[in-house]
Amino acid sequence: MTIPTPTFAGPLADLVVIEMGSLIAGPFCGQILGDFGAEVIKVEDPKVGDPMRQWGRSLPHGLSPWWPVIGRNKKSVGLDLRTPEGQAIARTLISQADVVIENFRPGAMEKWGLGYDVLSKDNPGLIMARISGFGQTGPYSQRAGYGLIGEAMGGLRHVTGEPDRPPARAGISIGDSLAAMHAVMGITMALHHRARTGQGQVIDAALYESVLAVMENLITEYDITGYVRERSGSVLPGIAPSNAYPCANGEMILIGGNGDNVYARLTEAMGRPDLKVDPKFVDHASRGANQQELDGIIAQWTSSHALADLLTLLQNQGVPASRVFRAPDMLQDPQFTARDSIVSVDHEVFGPIRMQNAFPKLSATPGRVRWPGPKLGEHTDAVLAERAGCSAEQLGTLRARGII
């Protein structure tokens, strides 16, 4: 694949990022930075590369459909960090970089001579984002910690699923993604601090803390009232009506009508204005106390209508409602089309492929998907020649020894 020279200057176009992570958390952090213009140089094992290249349910043409997304907008450099030569080259690359991302088990970078104390001597302004299961400190820091462990420890797994079944997962690796997003937030904060002081710093993003951060009032509610939040399926206890309801054609519709004004509009749409003044449903607290009964009434109404008719009726009444979107629905929906929420990118094996765009949208400097995930080591020679001063002869020797 030949990387084009795009006429694109994203808000991070002046940043050089060395991504040394693998799987999801570190690479998703790098993906976000690359989406907004940073030069992301991904350092990966020269023999097998990031496991994400072979990750997922299906491997059409022997390739993972996940890699073009999480590897997009990056340059791939194959480099064996377990060798002294590879470590020396990594230090040279990082000495010229603004940010380094890693999600190895704490201590791995230090073992390779790539700890922040070493790297910052040559590059005092370096920002190092370290993503791990439990953080760089504490009694659990050396434990292996994948996303599902962070989701469990952060409280998400316990409250996800039906109350009469074991905890469910979200269907995506949400713990890893949340850690990556928190790392990106940390990086942008550290960049702001560096602009004022010239000083770099370390971002310590733990998976479990990144999940904990989005758990709303789970801790505080228990601390004040002693209530432990439990699994409640498709509803939030006390928030009604807000649920998935059956339609006549076997599909489901999501309706959010828990606000007083919205609830009033819902009762009008249902042709049941009596429900608006019924003492059991007259206000937020009453509806919460009689949530199951109210959901049953609404489900009886929705089950006699087709999904499309319900959506039109509720939208006309100003009641939040939606189908349960799947990938085919997203590709056909006019809202996704109007906002370019999904873009098409050329891939040398798959051809044109569609994937989610860069978010959020910035009015002056929006992000862009410039190219999909590259081949393993596609940019090794160019990057090491430019940034590490390696000659063609040196590159040949390094390659023959399996270091690149």
Residues classed as catalytic? 176
**Tokens linked to 241:** 């009506």
**HSE-up of 402 (CA within 13 Å, CB side)?**
6
- The amino acid that residue 187 corresponds to is I
The rounded distance, in Å, linking the Cα atoms of 227 and 199 is 44
C-alpha angle 57-62-67 in degrees, rounded to nearest 5: 65
Distant-in-sequence, close-in-space partners of 133: CB < 8 Å, separation ≥ 6 = 140, 143, 144, 145, 146, 149, 150, 206, 207, 208
> Quick one: which H or E segment has residue 90?
helix 84-95
The answer to whether 136 touches 171, Cβ cutoff 8 Å, is no
Contact 10, 40 (CB under 8 A): no
Sheet holding 39-44, edge to edge: 74-78, 39-44, 16-19, 99-102, 127-132, 201-206
Which long-range CB contacts under 8 A does 237-241 form with residues at least 24 apart?
A: 237/288, 237/291, 238/288, 238/289, 238/291, 239/288, 239/291, 240/287, 240/288, 240/290, 240/291, 240/294, 240/295, 241/266, 241/287, 241/291, 241/294, 241/295, 241/298
Tokens of 359: 């978010």
* Alpha carbons 263 and 256: distance in angstroms, whole number: 9
> How far is residue 309 from each of residues 4, 253, 323, 371, measured CA to CA in Å?
47, 11, 11, 41
Handedness of CA 267, 271, 275, 276 (dihedral sign): positive
Report the amino acid identity of residue 269: A
